[in-house]
Structure 1
Amino acid sequence: MIPYGRQDITQADIDAVGAVLRSDFLTQGPMVPRFEAAVADRCGAPHAIAVNSATSALHVACLALGLGPGDILWTTPVTFVASANCALYCGAEVDFVDIDPATYNLCPRALEAKLIEAKVAGRLPKVVVPVHLAGQSPDMAAIHDLATRFGFRVIEDASHAIGATYLGAAVGDCRYSDITVFSFHPVKIITTGEGGMALTRDPALAARMDLLRSHGITRDPALMSHAPDGPWYYQQVDLGYNYRMTDIQAALGLSQMTRLGDYVARRRLLARRYDRLLAGLPLRVPFQHGDGESAWHLYIVRLDPALDRRAVFEALRAAGIGVNLHYIPVHTQPYYAAKGFAPGDFPEAERYYAEAISLPLYPGLTEAMQDEVIAALRRAVAP
């Protein structure tokens, strides 16, 4: 089976992890701050908070922005469920904004129209979470302008997009958002096994997320209700969580960061090759906006509506091609249907879902393997 995604682990990665295993610190040691510094430096944001998953990063980001009961978070329906669930963890409500039919990201025009209606109804969101689907940035400048106009905060769910650029700068620099979140799951651009990170330009938000990732406990006298009782002293000053990243994970991530540019370059090369070799088939290759360069976490094609998508999917799986689907629109999930969402609510997202398939794309994919994928796809869509 050729999987849709796969981690790349080198001897250097193994040596980096082994060094931590032989050291004095498996967690809460020096590797996490080093990894944070490497990502922050690469992205151009002054603050980075490493956690044990991107879901945890989304959760503490929402909490840091004060999201809670009575508030509403909006996101795209074409995403993993975590982009919406993070609001529910905070006791807030969730709603969705339909996608742009070209990029499949949250549509700024649909967002503006919905904001105008929400303002009249007194139901404006407190937080909007645009998602960088497949590694391509949404139109963050337009979303930022709307945030200024309507008064909401912005969390970029860039789980797919470390190594991507937007308007000439690295995704993660937070020029157009309050917080940006990355994922380091094994199928993402770089991996820490499981892991995530939240970046921000705001030192107060960084301090709040730092506190929340570790039980809400501090040893900083400035944050305590009274002077420390002694050098052993700590205080819990908030209700936090055990969302810490280990030094083992951080060592792997730090080693992987040295190859981030190579990984993204390889993904882009393979994506361009797909574009060329899939020309003429009854499908749509991914559209890339000129405002940025994708990190190409995923290569998503949309089949001609006349094709039987399930039959094509099953034929590819039977041929040993591990295609996948990213994503089932969140509003159609049973949990969200029980909250009142229904088919037809977000038609562009639902049209996308009916036609999309993710083809294999990862740095270790060889051209011969890619040729095998393309040949199997040609057979599957043949009349």
Structure 2
Amino acid sequence: MKIKSSTLYLFLTYSMLVCYMLGPTLSYRVGIPRIDNPMTLLFIILSCIAFLLERKDFPKKILNALIPLTIMSGWSLLHILISPMSATLFADLMLFAILPGYFYMLYLVISRHPDQLRFIRTFLLCFSFFITAPAIIELTTGFQFVFGDEAFSLEAGTLKGLFFNPNNLATTTLCITPAVLIFFNLIGRDKKSMLTGWALFILLGVVIFASASRTAIMVYIMLWLLFLVYRQNGLTTLFTLGAAALVLNMIPSTAIQNFLLSLNGNEFLERFSSRLYLFLYDLGSDNSVSYRQEIYNHFWNNPPFLYAGYGPRNFRDYFSGHLSDSLGFTNPHSFLIELYLAFGIVAFLGFLVYVSVYLITCAGAKHYSSKIRFIAVFSMLLFLVAGFIPSTIMRLPFIWLPNFLIFIYIVCNKPQSHHTGATP
């Protein structure tokens, strides 16, 4: 019975990922309804049934993470009763409510899989394929998988792959990179897995750079440097980085400015160079940055007390008259702000408890090397920063999965199961 159920859970886990990745494209290119929406509801129902059937021998640390996740997502379902119902609202709520179910389903699969590391590596490879392959196809052939706005079209020099805008692509790609380093380069190290891990990490980095998301690029570089510094050749790496920084500092700023401006002949390079130029030399003229500052400043200076929140995409009453554009009325460009405004204090505290449980568990996993624990903790910090990159992550539930994988694997593996090289 357990073998059959494990196969079913494995099938559902992969099916949900495929639906999330291909749903928008199938809708845009083939015209069929979004398959990810009904599949999400089915997945939630099946995960609840699985919980009722499989609740024996439940690890306390898994429960400690699952409870706050369930409170966070479950509290949002109040808006089925208190907000005017629409197809958009229901989809938003379901895509957020699926998080504890996906966490639990991954736990069932990983805890019962005969080769847990192999499953996670395969899952990450599949996930990475959906991120990188469409972006490469879009760049080389001009084929657009989805279309949402002229400003984010291929003709405008925007690369977005299966996503509606490049920030969503950058956020998803960035969130998967720490998991790649942990499961390919630090746990169960062998030459093949390490080469695969580095190739995958670099390929994901290329996509992040191509997306032209400055925050994602900065955090990706920081992760790479911290990983290199944390290796046994840390002093050599620090010396090399210091020398490189000194050389770059000696280059006149006018030379860098002229170089960036010279890239304007290519539509893709122009978007990247112009965004980098504004970031380095004219941040005050960057409308994206100034608009985000309006949102953050208003929230910081006028924090409301919300019990149930306004509901997703329903922040006009709070922001009206305080922002220069209406985009923030639906997308406040910060997951923390959006979570609180949409669902109130209970959901917000549930998220904070989940983050605390994750950090305490990963940092305290003494049977793992300090390198693994450090990258695991940094992965959550990266996730928190990534929540500020896109306009919203409410419809990106899959960006939570890499941290789910890290946490569940650390909890489910006993110290004696790592004699093959998990603690390099």
TM-score, scaled relative to structure 2: 0.29
With normalisation by structure 1, the TM-score equals 0.31
Identify, as 1 or 2, the structure richer in strand: 1
Which has a greater percent of helix?
2
